A and B are shown apart, each in its own frame.
Chain A
Amino acid sequence: MNKFSRKDITPVAIIFLLLFIGLSLKAKADNKNILSQIERLETKLASIENASPDIPIEELDKSKKWIEDAKNSMAEGSEENTAFKKTNQQIEFLSTLLEESRSKKKADELEQLIQKIRIQTEEITDTNAKVIEEIERLEQQ
């Protein structure tokens, strides 16, 4: 029964204690890292919100809510980072929406520009036809 002496148990206990402390510190560091990433997401969301009025409000509101949820999850000490992943992906989605909005805006601008060029070309062609008509009339005189 007394196969292990007290002398033998003490180093093992110390190893376990050190391991526990190490794991605790790592979890704390991870949480700190995720928190800073959440803050980064908040900053990014604010810049997206300011950049374009075309982003749907419900998506912005959802993002804010999920950021808050992620923060609360961190505060409760939950190790699950699904909430963070979800929020991160939502911000990525908003970034893509912003890029899409910019591309759409650019395409619309170019569409208007080409219409303008075509109208101007038609006007020039019409004016040219009138000038040619006037030239012919004067040459016949």
Chain B
Amino acid sequence: MRIFFLSAFIAAVIACASRNLPPTGDFAISYSLIEDAEMGGGEIYAPDLMQQARSFYDQAEAEFAKANYEEAEDLRQVSETIAKTVISIGRKKIYEDDIERLRSEINGANSIKRKREAELRENISKLGQIKDRIAISQERMNSSALKKIEEAAQKIKAAEALSAEYFSPELLSDANKNYKAAEEYLNRGENEKSIELSQKSISIAERALEESKRKLELTNEIQKRLSTIYGARVESIKGVIKVSFQGLFAPSSSNILFDAYPSLDAFAGVLAKYPALKTTIQANSDDLETQDKNIGLSVKRVEAVTAYLVSKGIPTERLRTASPRIDESPTNTIGDRRIEFIVTLG
């Protein structure tokens, strides 16, 4: 009998051990998952599943209480899986909400992007137009600068043609200086500055031209008058009038010959008529034996002519004397006793 009871107890123990008791911790986890699902809004978006999860959980607890552990574990797992499904649905809902929000934001962002693109296209077009306009303007400016510089060159050339280098050397030099500077600026592409300097050069060259023209006309007029004086040999060289008188003096003498006075009077008359004229008086050598004697005689002759002109009312400041010219040519007798007047326009 004892052996029978002992065997029955051992059999009961083995039977209980083979039931593989589920850990109660798993139930706590499952319960916690159901609560998480509920907290995440499971009741709202999956009420049926929530109900099922709770129902299976209750059934699992009931089976556990009845010591049906295997069945309890299966039911608990069903409950837990449903809870996890609800949580996953919750997360999916959040993502779906995100998708909806992002789509809306993308629409807004695309709208802003299209607006900015339109603005950019418009501004690029505007920039292109401005660049074209500037290119045309620069081309025109370059063309204008070229024309101006050509005009300046022509004006300078015209002034030079009227002997501006003698009649108006300072203005001509100034005009040339501005012309060269204009050329440099043109080469550097600074058209505006080039045009400005070309214009300045033109203006100065025009003044030089006018002055040269006036002086040339005056020179011609004076030359014409001087040419009518008896015994006067007149030539115009480099803006000055050179007047030569021969035989004004007796040989080896500084006394003016009587018949030379009308010519000197006529010359004094021209000087009187044009107060701006200045004269340099120079005497050529005579045929005396020594150079010193020749120089001395020449000086005296210049003094004699100067004194006569002064006596005719010509101010001394308009008369200048030059050193005597020594003529060393042995055959030169015509040159002897020659007096030269270098007339300048002042």
Residues of A that sit less than 8 Å from B by CB: 80, 82-83, 85-86, 89-90, 92-93, 96-97, 99-100, 103-104, 106-107, 110-111, 113-114, 117-118, 120-121, 124-125, 127-128, 131-132, 134-135, 138-139, 141
Contacts and interface: CB of A to CB of B under 8 A. Distances in A.
Nearest to A118: B109
Contact of B109 (A107, A114, A131, A132): A114
Contacts of B173: none
18 contacts: A82-B74, A86-B77, A103-B92, A103-B95, A103-B99, A110-B106, A111-B98, A114-B102, A114-B105, A114-B109, A117-B110, A117-B113, A125-B116, A128-B120, A128-B123, A134-B127, A135-B123, A138-B127
A82 B106 contact: no
A110 B95 CA distance: 11
B88 interface: yes
Contacts of A111: 98, 102
B71 interface: yes
A96 B91 CA distance: 10
Contact of A128 (B91, B96, B116, B134): B116
B117 interface: yes
Contact of B78 (A80, A89, A97): A89
A134 B119 CA distance: 15
Nearest to B125: A131
Nearest to A112: B102
Interface residues of B, number: 36
B84 interface: yes
Given A117-B109, A124-B113, A124-B116, A86 B78 contact: yes
Contact of B82 (A89, A127, A141): A89
Contacts, number: 95
A83 B81 CA distance: 13
Pick from B89, B92, B117, B131 the residue with the most CB of A within 10 Å: B92
A118 B134 CA distance: 35
B124 interface: yes
Contact of B102 (A86, A97, A110, A131): A110
Given A80-B71, A114-B109, A117-B109, A131 B127 contact: yes
A114 B91 contact: no
A93 B90 CA distance: 12
B71 A82 contact: yes
B92 A96 contact: yes
B333 to A, nearest CB: 78
A86 B79 CA distance: 9
Contacts of A93: 81-82, 84-85, 88
A96 B127 contact: no
B116 A121 contact: yes
A128 B96 CA distance: 36
Given A82-B74, A89-B82, A117 B89 contact: no
A135 B130 contact: yes
B92 A100 contact: yes
B126 interface: yes
Contacts of B112: 121
B95 A104 contact: yes
Given A92-B85, A93-B84, A110-B102, A121 B95 contact: no
Contacts of B159: none
B42 to A, nearest CB: 12
Contacts of A117: 106, 109-110, 113
